[in-house]
Chain A
Amino acid sequence: MVENTQLVSLTVDGKKISAPAGTLLIDACKASGIEIPSFCYYPGLSLQAACRMCVVRIDKMPKLQTACTVPVAEGMVVTSESDEVRQARKATIEILLGNHPLDCPVCDAGGECELQDMTFTYGAAESRFMEAKAHKEEQQWSPVVFFDRPRCILCYRCVRVCGEVMDVWALGVQNRGVNSVIAPNMGDHLECEECGQCIDICPVGALTSGAYRYKTRPWEMNHVGTVCTHCGDGCKTTLGVRRADNGMEIVRGDNRDKSGINGDFLCIKGRYAFDFQQHPDRLKQPLVRKDGKLKPATWDEAFDTIAKRFNAIREQHGGAGFGVIGSTRTTNEENYLLQKFARSVLGTNNIDHHRTADYPAFAAALAGKPEMAASLRDFEKTPAILLIGNDPTHQHPMLATAIRNNVRLHGAKLFIVNHEGLKLRRQSKAYAHIPKDGYGKFIAFLGGDDAVASALANGHTNREQLMAMREMLRGEHQLVIVFGAEVRGKDLETLVKLGMSHTGVKFACLGDYANSRGAADMGLYPDLLPGFTPLADAGDFAAEYGASLPKSAGMDLEKMVDAAKAGKLPAMFVVGANPMARYNVQLGELKNCFLVVQDMFLTETAAMADVVLPAANAYEKSGTMTNTYGDLQIVRPAGDFAGAKPDLELIVRIADRMGVAPQSLVPFGRGTRADMGQSRGAQSGEADRHAIWMVAQGIEPKVSPFDPQALLDEIQRLVPGYGFSRLNLFAGNDVPTHTAGKGKGAHQDPELIWPANDTLFTSGTLGRYSNTLNSVVEAHEGKRYPTQVETD
């Protein structure tokens, strides 16, 4: 908007500052370290000028001006703090407080309330108004949104964020003057996307969260910045945690500091669906099957049982006796360790995960051109976006928000190809509504095959519209092409090849779960090593693992489940996945299969297991996760649940009991001296100081075999595309990875890709255990995917 324009210089409080022409005075001041208070102004939203807090004196202008609506001008002389200005602001606050109740002690916003801060700053705590305050009872608009009308200062931030950013338009203003009131769309309640943006953005405690309500006060919490564990967008979320009887309870999720790729955006899942962490059904101790029943056991007993059976099966059947299924919600380190454990300890390539997108084909198509992989950040500014398949509003809420903001703020052109009517259609420049099986044909059409156009045309989109759309697309540069699981295999290859004709083109492939991409990158495939390295190319890995890796491709997920049902798979090791629900395997259908499951809950799969180990979730451990665009972010432990252990520790402990030296799996204390300093001798203090610093930064020192960073070292060394900047990563930023395959990746059976088709209100098996997520009405009405299956 204001790019490539000349700088304008002005004087604020005697200080010379400069800002690009078109910048608002309030932003220009902020950028130069001069804070101008405001309630209604919010960057990225339309201007309101309702609160009159940002008034400043501008020379040669007759009255005080609102800094939030005045663009900077050459030679402008501004006074942002003077007795006059302070008096005006104080009066504004006094009037705002005229009806504002003084219930700060019971208000959830107390302690982080902008009105409270301003009152302290300007000292308008004493009111001259003697009239009784207008009181109205608090209303509950939805299970997660409460509205306390008297506290509202009518800044309209909520109305604007709901309409402009979310494109939901569920909030409005009714009546006028002092009687104005924020109103929900359904009269007395809300039906919306329940994203909670209105609550987050509210400068006071008028809109409060049902999930966080009265749980604690802001200063009582610790805050941990980590990555959301739901969809593949990998939003950064700051979790507020508070001590509980059984560890640390997560009480709030938000991203007020706007750090991370998502700014302050979070959807309902990121904001509220952390409550599975304290779900009463969570497993608290290992379970071992005795006399046909799962019974609580000690950790020792569980590990012994597993190690004994695994060793016996390895001796009898070799690697072919094992099937390993990984998770799409565990960290990269855990996924990497799992495949390392499977290949070097169990000696099998029978390893797979729930695939939700054709990443191997994507990596192969981008071979040699890693710069063409789009980051989520690329959607913020790019002038044109082509979206093929998927429904970002439901499956990738952050992507949808980034696209909407880009269209709204930067005038980007959005082209959509889908078999359904998406909500994003309202932002689109051109929309092709094609048949469900028409994606391949559409890609052929894009490539110039006019013959298929008639097959694509239908009641929604006719031939001419398709032609026009293609014509428009051909002229686009800096295009970002993003596609869902509808585009796979050959189609994907063709599409990427086609797209390369545009200059500055970038691609993104949409997978569904928090670390679907990480699972793929870390080689949870029967025929691919980490970084989509073909089995034949295993040199580095074989040398590192010090074991002869199995040469031939293993069984995929479906084959493993079939083999287990046929009694041909003596052992199965499932980490954080629920394949038995997905393939509809009933209790007792598995024959002669020793099943070990690591999970948080007694899922369908865990219920069939011989040993179940209670695992920690992604909010309770450290590591890294890669979102579906390849942006790597650090995961930090926020919650804590007594009785559960991270999957990483569980795998290492199993290996240890099997007689494998943990060092061979997790290279802790190896090659890390530079980081750690000396642990003995004259310089030994350094290690301690380092350790203290690391703990303070939320980083675990690499002295234990359960340290994910030891594995991160190895991933950085070995996995192609993971040569990222650790400095940025540890600072809590997202860093791009570039796992473009070295060559042609093994061709994957497209039938194995099974999109989760989650809506905003579901999140696979995990979503079942979030009471908040299930409490909103939208979760139960109008499920858009009747064929939806619950999987990991």
Chain B
Amino acid sequence: MSVLKDIGAIAKGMSITFGEMFQPTVVENYPDGPGPFKGAKFQERFRGLHVLQRDENGLEKCVACFLCAAACPSNCIYIEAAENTEEHRISGAERYAKVYNIDYNRCIFCGYCVEACPTDAITHGHGFELAAFNASNLVYRKEQLLMPTPAPQLQR
């Protein structure tokens, strides 16, 4: 009877295999999918490439307080601050970040900078394709990190 028992076992196993064959695929269509992430899907909490946010007026939220740089355990954030003027207003407060670099050679995506930010300016986006042939290309500048200017009706 052991033969029947063995066949039964195989049939049971293969039924799962064949059953799964007709289920819809769970593999994501990366990198051929649509959207900026080419079909890759993330949990909301995923900590990817940083995004510097803007407020409802389109001004940068970052006020160059350096708290992210202070919180950063790998010391990868470099900031230079400058003062807003009447004619040249970049952020909502008195000062803004003239230079804001994140060195992705060093960043460990711990999220401390996001936690430290008093103005919710720096957030983790879902960008993940961080590979480069040249390490110096991994130093992202403010222009690369900043959220694009929002729709025209929201502009000043």
**Which A residues are within 8 Å of any B CB, using their own CB?**
103-106, 110, 138, 213-217, 219-220
Contact = CB atoms under 8 A, between A and B. Distances in A.
B81 interface: yes
Contacts of A103: 93-94
B69 interface: yes
B83 interface: yes
A10 to B, nearest CB: 42
A216 B95 CA distance: 11
B81 A105 contact: no
Contact of A105 (B67, B82, B83): B67
B51 interface: no
A532 to B, nearest CB: 50
Contacts of B82: 214
Given A217-B70, A219-B70, A220-B70, A110 B65 contact: yes
Interface in B42-99: 63-67, 69-70, 81-83, 93-95
B119 interface: yes
Contacts of A220: 66, 69-70
A216 B81 contact: yes
Given A138-B94, A214-B82, A217-B65, 7 more contacts: A103-B94, A104-B118, A105-B93, A106-B94, A110-B65, A219-B66, A220-B66
Nearest to B63: A106
A655 to B, nearest CB: 40
B7 to A, nearest CB: 72
B63 A217 contact: no
Contacts of B67: 105
For the complex of A and B, 4 pairs with smallest distance between CB atoms: A105-B65, A217-B66, A214-B81, A105-B118
Nearest to A242: B80
Contacts of B119: 105
Nearest to B118: A105
B9 to A, nearest CB: 66
A213 B84 CA distance: 12
A106 B95 contact: yes
Interface residues of B, number: 15
B83 A213 contact: yes
Nearest to B83: A214
B85 to A, nearest CB: 12
A103 B64 CA distance: 12
A767 to B, nearest CB: 26
A122 to B, nearest CB: 21
Interface of B: 63-67, 69-70, 81-83, 93-95, 118-119
A110 B67 CA distance: 10
A103 B65 CA distance: 10
12 contacts: A103-B94, A104-B65, A105-B63, A105-B65, A105-B93, A106-B63, A138-B94, A214-B82, A217-B66, A217-B70, A220-B66, A220-B70
Given A105-B119, A219-B70, A214 B95 contact: yes
A728 to B, nearest CB: 35
Given A105-B118, A106-B63, A106-B65, A215 B81 contact: yes
Contacts of A214: 64, 81-83, 94-95
Contacts of B66: 216-217, 219-220
Contacts of A110: 65
Contacts of A217: 65-66, 70
B30 to A, nearest CB: 38
A106 B96 CA distance: 9
A632 B63 CA distance: 44
Contacts of B64: 106, 214
A214 B82 CA distance: 6
Contacts of A219: 66, 70
Nearest to A218: B66
Contacts of A215: 81
A220 B95 CA distance: 17
A104 B69 CA distance: 15
A106 B70 contact: no
Contacts of B63: 105-106
A216 B118 CA distance: 17
Nearest to A220: B66
A220 B80 CA distance: 11
Contacts of A104: 65, 118
A132 B24 CA distance: 59
B75 to A, nearest CB: 11
Nearest to A105: B65
A148 to B, nearest CB: 9
A204 to B, nearest CB: 16
Contacts of B83: 213-214
A94 B81 CA distance: 31
Nearest to B65: A105
A346 to B, nearest CB: 47
A214 B63 CA distance: 10
Contacts of B81: 214-216
Contacts of A216: 66, 81
A215 B81 CA distance: 6
A396 to B, nearest CB: 35
Contacts of B95: 106, 214
A628 to B, nearest CB: 39
Contacts of B65: 104-106, 110, 217
Contacts of B70: 217, 219-220
A35 B78 CA distance: 36
A110 B65 CA distance: 9
Nearest to A110: B65
B69 A106 contact: no
Nearest to B94: A106
Contacts of B93: 103, 105-106
A217 B69 CA distance: 10
Nearest to A217: B66
A103 B69 CA distance: 18
A110 B93 CA distance: 15
B82 to A, nearest CB: 7
A459 B69 CA distance: 65
A217 B67 CA distance: 9
Contacts of A138: 94
Nearest to A244: B80
Task: Name the residue among A105, A138, A219 with the largest chain B CB count within 10 angstroms.
Answer: A105
A219 B93 CA distance: 21
A105 B118 CA distance: 7
A375 B119 CA distance: 52
Nearest to B93: A106
A220 B68 CA distance: 11
